[in-house]
């Protein structure tokens, strides 16, 4: 929750609907500060003592030096000099006084504008006007006249609007460009930035005195503002490369729409940048897709070749090579959907399990159960780890259950894969309830390719450790493999 609503709930007697009104007003806070070239604060009586007025929001102008050094939010206004704030609150009409502030050389004008909603005054907007530098220029006059009109709306309760936010992060600001329209939609005034934004939309004629539709710009938000008195935000695109965001705020007087303030921002550059980022992502995705396709082609070639040979040994070797290639393809498959430096390892585990179930033939039904997950892993870790898990699961399914429960047809072989993150390490444990490792088995002298690959990947590439042991028969027997690797790849 924001500081404003916390403050109001804790220290004022405002109702939730009134707090909401103030929240919506402060959404346009920096718009009001910029249009008035002034610091502004929002003040409301504290609970229990309506004589004590507290600051609940503050904004500094982006286009002028501030005259308020301190953060005043939460301060109770003390001293005679703030009496006119109270007066504005009580009388419900605008009062202009003077106050002395720490950063100002002399007293600065303080305009106190009552904030009304549903007929009652709930706060006072105070504009603390910094020193003027000579007579106001025409654009300063235009800004101030818009500020004036918005202030009148604040005092009658027609600003802020009930439905839509007029200001806020990401929305066009005063400095981005302003068009002021009269009640019929004619442009009374355009800042240089607004004129540049119109150039983006292909408008090179003088805009003042013309309507946007006459200039070839069709804006629904302007129509909505002028016809229904509703604010709205709209992106107007000239072509794929040029776009302008328009935030259209109706100006209302005695329930009649008398004009509109249009904040405009040329967003073409942002658009193009977004487009480039999207294109880059699509390209990376496409590359992974092609790598995956190529790996699948290689694995199909190996399969075709294995079918052509009659030698069992060659056939097995080709078959295994095919499976290894496919387990690497799994990672690229995931990356082709969600490209990045990291992958959700869970998705890879699922594919690896399916791969093992599909490619290893067993005389017994064997179930692979996965518990836990490793979250997202760097692709540098995920690819070798996927290959290791494929080998170990394959071994469990392939070797663990030779001669398994020959007399019992209902016996089911169970292979469990437990995955967990422990600090900066990924821990993978594979257990099977099969026959266990031979007496002579040693992980450090494998002559066979599968475990040599696993050992080398775990130790050299993943900088981790691997152990393989037999499970005591009291605990169900079988083989236990544990791999621990750091999740952050090193060098």
Ligand X SMILES: Nc1ncnc2c1ncn2[C@@H]1O[C@H](COP(=O)(O)OP(=O)(O)O)[C@@H](O)[C@H]1O
- Give the footprint of ligand X on this chain (CB under 6 A): 391, 395-396, 399-400, 432, 434, 437-438, 441, 446, 448, 450-451, 479
Q: How far is the CB of 346 from ligand X (least distance, A)?
A: 23
- Distance, in Å, from the CA atom of 192 to the CA atom of 198, rounded to the nearest integer, reads 10
Instruction: Examine residue 395 and tell whether it contacts Mg ion (CB under 5 A).
Output: yes
Bridge partner residues of 51 (DSSP):
none
- Whether omega before 160 lies within 30 degrees of 0, making that bond cis, reads yes
**CB 178 within 8 Å of CB 46:** no
Cβ-proximal residues to 195 (8 Å cutoff; 6+ apart), any chain: 177, 207
Looking at the Cβ atoms of 288 and 324, the one nearer to Mg ion is 324
Strand 465-470 to 413-422 pairing: unpaired
Looking at the Cβ atoms of 283 and 402, the one nearer to ligand X is 402
Contacts of 142-146 with CB under 8 Å at 24 or more apart are 142/178, 142/180, 142/188, 142/189, 143/34, 143/35, 143/36, 143/37, 143/174, 143/178, 144/35, 144/36, 144/37, 146/35, 146/178, 146/180, 146/251, 146/261
- Distance, in Å, from the CA atom of 41 to the CA atom of 88, rounded to the nearest integer, reads 14
Strand 376-378 to 342-344 pairing: antiparallel
Cα angle 105-110-114, degrees, rounded to a multiple of 5:
165
Q: How far is the CB of 403 from ligand X (least distance, A)?
A: 11
Looking at the Cβ atoms of 23 and 321, the one nearer to ligand X is 321
Of all residues in this chain, which one has the CB nearest to ligand X in the complex? 450
Looking at the Cβ atoms of 424 and 439, the one nearer to ligand X is 439
- Distance, in Å, from the CA atom of 83 to the CA atom of 76, rounded to the nearest integer, reads 12
Of all residues in this chain, which one has the CB nearest to Mg ion in the complex? 450
**CB 84 within 8 Å of CB 98:** no
Out of 167, 339, 434, 450, the residue judged to bind Mg ion by CB under 5 A: 450
Q: How far is the CB of 398 from Mg ion (least distance, A)?
A: 6
- Distance, in Å, from the CA atom of 181 to the CA atom of 480, rounded to the nearest integer, reads 77
Looking at the Cβ atoms of 186 and 319, the one nearer to Mg ion is 319
Looking at the Cβ atoms of 266 and 391, the one nearer to ligand X is 391
Q: How far is the CB of 397 from ligand X (least distance, A)?
A: 8
- Distance, in Å, from the CA atom of 253 to the CA atom of 148, rounded to the nearest integer, reads 11
Of the candidates 56, 54, 154, the one whose C-alpha atom is nearest the C-alpha of residue 113 is 154
Instruction: Examine residue 436 and tell whether it contacts Mg ion (CB under 5 A).
Output: no
Site string for Mg ion, 13-52 (x = CB under 5 A): ----------------------------------------
Distance of CA 345 to the CA centre of its chain: 22
Of the candidates 33, 32, 2, 31, the one whose C-alpha atom is nearest the C-alpha of residue 19 is 2
Total residue length of the chain: 491
- Distance, in Å, from the CA atom of 190 to the CA atom of 262, rounded to the nearest integer, reads 9
Transcribe 186-245 into DSSP letters: BEEEE-HHHHHHHHHTT--S--TTSBTTTTT---HHHHHHHHH---EEEEEEEETTEEEE
**Strands ordered across the beta sheet of 366-371:** 366-371, 413-422, 425-432, 479-486, 465-470
Looking at the Cβ atoms of 339 and 400, the one nearer to ligand X is 400
Looking at the Cβ atoms of 114 and 436, the one nearer to ligand X is 436
Q: How far is the CB of 363 from ligand X (least distance, A)?
A: 15
Q: How far is the CB of 482 from Mg ion (least distance, A)?
A: 17
Q: How far is the CB of 441 from ligand X (least distance, A)?
A: 6
Q: How far is the CB of 323 from ligand X (least distance, A)?
A: 11
Q: How far is the CB of 354 from ligand X (least distance, A)?
A: 19
Looking at the Cβ atoms of 61 and 450, the one nearer to Mg ion is 450
- Distance, in Å, from the CA atom of 40 to the CA atom of 67, rounded to the nearest integer, reads 10
- Distance, in Å, from the CA atom of 404 to the CA atom of 86, rounded to the nearest integer, reads 90
- Distance, in Å, from the CA atom of 153 to the CA atom of 161, rounded to the nearest integer, reads 10
Looking at the Cβ atoms of 236 and 415, the one nearer to Mg ion is 415
Q: How far is the CB of 394 from Mg ion (least distance, A)?
A: 5
Here the tokens at position 388 are 């290791």
**CB 94 within 8 Å of CB 114:** yes
Instruction: Examine residue 413 and tell whether it contacts Mg ion (CB under 5 A).
Output: no
Q: How far is the CB of 365 from Mg ion (least distance, A)?
A: 20
Out of Mg ion, ligand X, none, what residue 399 binds, judged by CB under 5 to 8 A for its kind, is ligand X
Looking at the Cβ atoms of 282 and 465, the one nearer to ligand X is 465
- Distance, in Å, from the CA atom of 387 to the CA atom of 389, rounded to the nearest integer, reads 6
Out of ligand X, Mg ion, none, what residue 432 binds, judged by CB under 5 to 8 A for its kind, is ligand X
Looking at the Cβ atoms of 374 and 437, the one nearer to ligand X is 437
Out of ligand X, Mg ion, none, what residue 434 binds, judged by CB under 5 to 8 A for its kind, is ligand X
Out of ligand X, Mg ion, none, what residue 400 binds, judged by CB under 5 to 8 A for its kind, is ligand X
Q: How far is the CB of 483 from ligand X (least distance, A)?
A: 13
Where on the chain is the footprint of Mg ion (CB under 5 A)? 395, 450
């Amino acid at each position: 929750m924001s500081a404003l609503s916390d403050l109001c709930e804790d220290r004022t007697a405002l109702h939730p609907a009134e707090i909401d009104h103030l929240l919506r007003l402060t959404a346009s806070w920096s718009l009001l500060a910029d249009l008035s070239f002034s610091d502004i604060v929002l003040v409301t009586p504290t609970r229990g003592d309506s004589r004590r007025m507290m600051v609940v929001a503050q904004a500094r102008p982006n286009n002028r030096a501030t005259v308020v050094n301190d953060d005043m939010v939460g301060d109770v206004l003390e001293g005679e000099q703030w009496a006119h704030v109270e007066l504005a609150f009580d009388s419900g009409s605008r009062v202009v006084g003077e106050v002395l502030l720490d950063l100002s050389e002399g007293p600065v004008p303080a305009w106190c504008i009552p904030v009304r909603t549903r007929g009652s005054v709930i706060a006072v907007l105070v504009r603390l006007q910094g020193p003027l530098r000579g007579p106001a220029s025409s654009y300063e006059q235009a800004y101030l006249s818009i500020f004036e009109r918005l202030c009148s709306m604040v005092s009658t309760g027609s600003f802020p609007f009930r439905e839509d936010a007029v200001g806020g992060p990401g929305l066009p600001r005063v400095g981005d460009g302003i068009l002021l329209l009269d009640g019929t939609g004619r442009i009374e005034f355009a800042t240089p930035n607004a004129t540049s934004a119109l150039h983006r939309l292909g408008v090179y004629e003088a805009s003042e005195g013309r309507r946007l539709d006459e200039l070839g710009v069709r804006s629904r938000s302007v129509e909505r503002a002028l016809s229904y008195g509703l604010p709205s935000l709209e992106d107007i695109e000239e072509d794929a490369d040029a776009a302008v965001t328009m935030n259209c705020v109706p100006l209302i007087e005695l329930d009649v729409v008398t004009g509109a303030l249009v904040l405009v921002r040329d967003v073409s550059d942002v658009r193009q940048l977004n487009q480039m980022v999207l294109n880059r992502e699509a390209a990376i995705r496409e590359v992974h897709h092609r790598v995956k396709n190529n790996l699948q082609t290689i694995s199909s070639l190996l399969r075709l070749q294995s079918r052509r040979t009659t030698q069992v040994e060659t056939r097995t070797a080709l078959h295994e090579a095919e499976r290894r290639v496919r387990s690497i393809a799994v990672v690229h498959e995931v990356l082709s959907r969600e490209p990045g430096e990291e992958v959700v390892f869970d998705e890879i585990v699922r594919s690896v399990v399916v791969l093992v179930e599909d490619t290893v033939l067993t005389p017994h039904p064997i179930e692979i159960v996965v518990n836990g997950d490793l979250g997202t892993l760097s692709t540098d870790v995920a690819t070798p780890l996927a290959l290791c898990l494929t080998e170990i699961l394959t071994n469990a399914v392939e070797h663990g259950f030779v001669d398994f429960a020959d007399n019992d047809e209902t016996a089911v072989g169970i292979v469990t894969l437990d995955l967990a993150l422990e600090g900066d390490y990924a821990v993978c444990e594979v257990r099977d309830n099969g026959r266990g490792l031979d007496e002579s088995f040693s992980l450090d002298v494998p002559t066979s390719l599968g475990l040599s690959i696993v050992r080398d990947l775990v130790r050299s590439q993943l900088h981790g450790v691997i152990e393989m042991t037999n499970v005591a028969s009291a605990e169900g027997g079988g083989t236990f493999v544990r791999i621990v690797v750091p999740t952050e790849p090193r060098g």
